[in-house]
Amino acid sequence: MVSFTILVDCPDEKGLIYRITNVLYNRQLNIVKNREFVDGDTNRFFMRTEVEGTADENILQEELGAALPPQSSVKIITARQKKLVVLATLESHCLGDLMVRNHFREWNADICAVISNHSMLENFVTRLGVPFHAVLSEGMSRDDHEHAVAELIDGYDPDYVVLAKYMRILTPAFVERYRNRIINIHHSFLPAFVGAHPYRQAYDRGVKIIGATAHFVNNNLDEGPIICQNVIPVDHSQNASDMAKAGKDVEKMVLSRALKLVLEDRIMLSGNKTIIF
C-alpha cells in the first residue's frame, strides 16, 4: 500500500471531479482526502487529493492527463521525507527554531546542510549534527559567490532552499535555478515595508501592528507568492529595536508554519498567489 498526493491544475469545465475520481476508481485507488477550488479570476480548477493504493505512476499520470483539458498540470507526489538546505547569515532565531524542529523530527523533512556567508553560526549547527558550510563573500563577485553556494546546494539535491534570515539579494539566475523552490521569511507584513530595515520603517510610520511574511522567492524583491503571514500588536512605547526583538517570535512561527504547508504539499501557485489546501 502506497500513499501519495495528486495535485491538479487545469482550465475549469464541467465534470472535472467525476473524470479525475473515475480514473482513480478504475485503478482501485482509495481517496483519503480531497479538496478543490476554482479561481474565478483565471478560470482555473485546482484539486488536491490524498490517495492510498498501488499504481504505476507513469500510467496514472497518462490517464489523468488524458481525462483533463489542454493546458493542464498533474503532479503525483509519493510520500517521502523531503530534503532542505538552509541559507543563513548572522541572525540565529529562525535557524535555531528550524534546527530544533529538525532535531526532534517534528516534520517529514531533513535539513541536509546550512550554508552561510559568515562562520558565526557554525558551532551551533554542527553541535546538532548538521553539516555547515561558510562561503565568505568578501573579495568575491556576487555571481562567483552565488555559483559557489549553488554548487554546495546541488550536492545535497534538496527539494527546497530555505532563507532563514539570509540577508543577501539573489540574482535572477540563482532564483531561476531553484524556481518555486526558495522560501524566504521577511520581517514585515508584506506588502508593507519591503526591502531592508522594515522595523525602522514601521517605527517611523507609527504602526500599531508588526508582522512577518513567508513567501516563495521570485525576481521582484519581497513580492513572491505569499505562503503565510501573522502579526502582533505594538505601541508608541516601543522603538525600532524593541519592535525587532518582539518580531523575532512571529518570524519563527510564520516560517515554521509555511514550511509545514510546503512539506505537506498543500500549496499550489496561481500566478503570484498561492492556493492553500
The catalytic residues are 222
Residue pair 109/80 in contact (Cβ under 8 Å)? The answer is: no
DSSP string covering 124-176, please?
A: HHHHTT--EEE---TTS-HHHHHHHHHHHHHHH--SEEEESS--SPPPHHHHH
Residue written as grid cell 518580531 = 247
Residue pair 127/81 in contact (Cβ under 8 Å)? The answer is: no
The two beta strands, 82-88 and 109-116, are parallel
| For the chain, the helix, strand and coil percentages under 3-state DSSP, each to the nearest 5 | 35, 30, 35
Is residue 258 classed as helix, strand or coil in its secondary structure?
Answer: helix
Rounded CA-CA distance 146/174 in Å is 7
Distances (CA, A) of 237 to 51, 189, 197, 207, 249: 53, 20, 19, 12, 19
Q: Where are the alpha helices (DSSP H) in 6-115?
A: 16-26, 57-67, 93-103
